[in-house]
Amino acid sequence: MKEKLYSAFIGKYGDGGDIRMYFAPGRVNLIGEHTDYNGGHVFPCALTLGTYGVARKRQDSKLRFYSMNFESIGIVESDLNDLVPDKKAGWTNYPKGVLWAFKERGYQMDCGMDVLIYGDIPNGSGLSSSASLEVLTGVMLKDLYGFEVSLPDIALIGQYSENNFNGCNCGIMDQFASAMGKKDHAIFLDTNTLEYEYAPVKLEDAKIVITNSKVKHSLVDSAYNDRRNECERALKELKEVTDIQALGDLTEEEFEKYKEAIKDDVCRRRAKHAVYENQRTIHAEAALKAGNVEQFGKYMNESHVSLRDDYEVSCEEIDVLVELAWKIPGVIGSRITGGGFGGCTVSIVKNEAVDTFIEEVQKGYQEKCHKKAEIYVVDIGDGAHRLS
Ligand code: GAF
């Protein structure tokens, strides 16, 4: 892979100079969905799939970007002094946004760079290809320009650029997982304080299996922002009766005590999900730590039901995939993962059931939704880094 990327870079931009290579992973969230903008906990892990970048500094202020995933687009040019979002600039708005965010924070870049990108995260699958591209750019800038910036700060800069340059109001989970991932571990992150702990994911007799529905419904961005607004409305009403800063501050019991303060039934259900999902994530991490994978799987299933019924971010195709999985002996847990309205499910499947899982889920999905699901048995990898 490294040789292939290196020669592709030279083919595009020519040889010579200090050419460096980087990697930033995508992520899968095991549990803790739509809690990261509600001051709750998340439990994602970095994948070994992700985005590779090759870069070299230039003498002038030009920026040149090329993606092997979008060869027909060719090289896209920009300039350090002209960092504004531009629809025509397509995917390059992500690295440009991170450059802009570094500048906003006072980091000075004395010259531009040539960049070549290649990603092996399936496109539009909800496994955080854009967050990985943002974090990749951050790690690249830190190393190439010698910036003093920590990995959690790179995650925050990535989120800031996504919110303010690319217009998606996401939380911190995806960028944090990509920056801070650790091989064979999930990250138990308190999104309120950004305190985190690595939890070993020891699934000796089971695997993490991701099923890609290959659908992405158009409401993803608008509905994501609607959910955020509904949670904010609920929080505002709860604040009138109890002293909290975020929905993640409440236990289930406290929520039940104060929930009538939320007038609108829809907002009440959204808040219920945020509160219960946060508590579920705390319990699920404890179960995994105690080696109780079966219990962890039950929490995953409950999470799906809550996302489907109270938060309403699932869709027909995803529900079909999850219900097919639930029926297969040896499936410990299965749920939607990521923002929703399509994308992927994550399942924990006993080793001996993996082949049956692939067969049954693909067959059932084809019959019920007339689509071919893609299934990946994945490994948990490290966070973003320079490749030697
Ligand atoms: C998307 C967002 F980018 C994350 O911040 C998170 O809110 C997730 O949806 C839902 O848990 O991936």
Render pLDDT for 49-100 as a digit per residue (tens, 0 to 9): 999 999 999 999 999 999 999 999 999 999 999 999 988 888 999 999 999 9
Q: What are phi and psi of 370, to 5 degrees?
A: 55, 40
181 lines ligand 1 (CB under 6 A): no
> Which atom of ligand 1 lies closest to the CA of 35?
11
173 lines ligand 1 (CB under 6 A): yes
- The closest alpha carbon to 220, from 121, 343, 345, belongs to 343
Distance CA 147, CA 45 (A): 26
Domain 206-378 has CATH 3.30.530.20: no
35 annotated ligand-binding residue: yes
- The closest alpha carbon to 71, from 112, 114, 119, belongs to 119
Spot the catalytic one: 174, 190, 249, 310. 174
350 lines ligand 1 (CB under 6 A): no
| pLDDT at res. 303 | 98
Residue whose CA lies nearest to ligand 1 atom number 9: 339
36 annotated ligand-binding residue: yes
206 lines ligand 1 (CB under 6 A): no
CA 63 to chain centroid, in Å, comes to 27
User: Which residues have CB under 8 Å from 113's CB, separation 6+?
Assistant: 55, 56, 57, 58, 63, 64, 140, 144
174 lines ligand 1 (CB under 6 A): yes
Residue whose CA lies nearest to ligand 1 atom number 2: 170
| Residue-range domain boundaries for the chain | 2-200+383-387, 206-378
129 annotated ligand-binding residue: yes
CA of 294 to the centre of ligand 1 (A): 25
Digit-by-digit pLDDT tens for the chain (388 residues) are: 889 999 999 999 999 999 999 999 999 999 999 999 999 999 999 999 999 999 999 999 999 999 999 999 999 999 999 999 988 888 999 999 999 999 999 999 999 999 999 999 988 889 999 999 999 999 999 999 999 999 999 999 999 999 999 988 999 999 999 999 999 999 999 999 999 999 999 888 999 999 999 998 766 678 999 999 999 999 999 999 999 999 999 999 999 999 999 999 999 999 999 999 999 999 999 999 999 999 999 999 999 999 999 999 999 999 999 999 999 999 999 999 999 999 999 999 999 999 999 999 999 999 999 999 999 999 999 999 999 8
How many residues does this entry show for the chain?
A: 388
40 lines ligand 1 (CB under 6 A): no
**What tens digit of pLDDT does each residue of 192-237 get?**
999 999 999 988 899 999 999 999 876 667 899 999 999 999 999 9
User: Which residues have CB under 8 Å from 56's CB, separation 6+?
Assistant: 9, 13, 17, 18, 19, 20, 113, 114
- The closest alpha carbon to 300, from 332, 343, 340, 339, belongs to 332
| pLDDT at res. 312 | 97
CATH fold of the domain at 2-200+383-387? Ribosomal Protein S5; domain 2 (3.30.230)
Mutate to test the pocket of ligand 1, among 27, 38, 170 (most ligand atoms within 8 A of CB): 170
Q: With contact defined as beta carbons under 8 Å apart, do 207 and 247 qualify?
A: no
CA of 342 to the centre of ligand 1 (A): 13
CA of 242 to the centre of ligand 1 (A): 27
Mutate to test the pocket of ligand 1, among 36, 166, 281, 303 (most ligand atoms within 8 A of CB): 36
248 lines ligand 1 (CB under 6 A): no
Q: Is the ipTM of this complex over 0.95?
A: yes
| pLDDT at res. 217 | 73
| pLDDT at res. 220 | 65
**Residue 310 known to be catalytic:** no
| pLDDT at res. 219 | 62
